[in-house]
Chains A and B, each alone.
Chain A
Amino acid sequence: MIFQILVISYAGLTILNAVFRRQKFQITFWFFASLVLSHLGIIVITLFPDMTYPIAHFFGIGRGADFVLYTAVIVMLRILFYLYSQNRRLEQQLTQIVRHLALTEKESDAAQRS
């Protein structure tokens, strides 16, 4: 019961936070929508865990909780990989900008002395 209260509180606060941030246009609509939908999903599954049994059974997994856990791990790994790729892309873009600045602002020693 304590776990359910904690999870539902956390998800509820996250949704509220998303609503406030969306009102101030700090997050995009799609990010807002995915935050709200995923956390609503967490609340529903926490309140009615039996709902996941049929899906778990369909995939050949014994317990609904295990199905949720496996799915969460796969989704997390995918997100991690995506963020890592994005970070790498940004690093490469940063290098290009730094290089461009270095090449356009190059100075010969003669220029340094003047």
Chain B
Amino acid sequence: MKKMTVFVIVSVLNEAPVLRGVIEELLAFAPHVIVVDDGSTDASLKTLKGLPILTLRHLVNRGQGAALQTGMACALEKGADILVTFDGDGQHDPRDIEKLLKPIESGETDVSLGSRFLEKAPHLPLLRRLLLQGGILFTRLTTGLPITDTHNGLRAFSQKAASKVRFTLDRMAHASELFEILQKEKLRYREVPVTIRYTPYSLRKGQSSWDLLRILGSLLERSFLK
């Protein structure tokens, strides 16, 4: 059987302090890495000099959803069979990628979704846990899908699935929009347990309560305007 070509897409916004370490660790598990710099104002891209990766740059910040869509378009153009999305702040463990790939490689599913709640998430701060649970409840109510983790950036898409994903919400709300796309395009999905590394850096960079309110606003706005 032909070995599938896997591209990992990393969206980046001002991650200079950790980015090189994240990508170096990632390269040990995935040879094809596309970094999309979403208009960083720090030296994020410069820290990657010398690494065998492909870099794309948004001239102005357009949001994580837009950055991932750009990276996915590039990966599809490069002939990717499977596309993995991965956060640039070091909160994901590259060893989990293998677990995401398996159900797609075996043809069981079109999309693998990382979930931190399928297993115990012992280091998750209480406030973050409550906010995420609120998001999960909202997504379950609006989509009817029994999802256990809505805002986990570690996901894998088959080529067929990736070509059907068109985020219209450019910012963080794309994560919730994805579930609507899964339903609309009748894509099969499976949740896979993954580990999230909560470091002081990733917690500082992660979504705040305001971000979650903004996500809710974007989803409501789209409901009215679409």
Which residues of A are interface residues toward B (Cβ below 8 A)?
A: 84-85, 88, 91-92, 94-95, 98-99, 101-103, 105-109, 112-113
Contacts and interface: CB of A to CB of B under 8 A. Distances in A.
Contacts of B57: 102, 105
A97 B22 CA distance: 29
Contacts, number: 59
Interface in B37-92: 48-60, 62-63, 66, 69-70, 73-74, 77
A92 B70 contact: no
Q: Which of A94, A99, A109 has the most CB of B within 10 A?
A: A99
Contacts of B207: none
Given A95-B66, A108-B53, A109-B54, 7 more contacts: A88-B221, A95-B62, A98-B62, A102-B59, A103-B56, A106-B74, A109-B51
A98 B50 contact: no
Contact of B170 (A95, A103, A112, A113): A95
Interface of B: 36, 48-60, 62-63, 66, 69-70, 73-74, 77, 168, 170, 221, 225
A106 B55 contact: yes
Contacts of B56: 102-103, 106
Contacts of B170: 91-92, 95
Contacts of A95: 62-63, 66, 170
Contacts of A99: 58, 62, 66, 69-70, 73
Contact of B74 (A85, A88, A94, A103): A103
A34 to B, nearest CB: 24
A61 B53 CA distance: 69
Contact of B54 (A88, A98, A101, A106): A106
A102 B68 CA distance: 12
A112 B49 contact: yes
B56 to A, nearest CB: 4
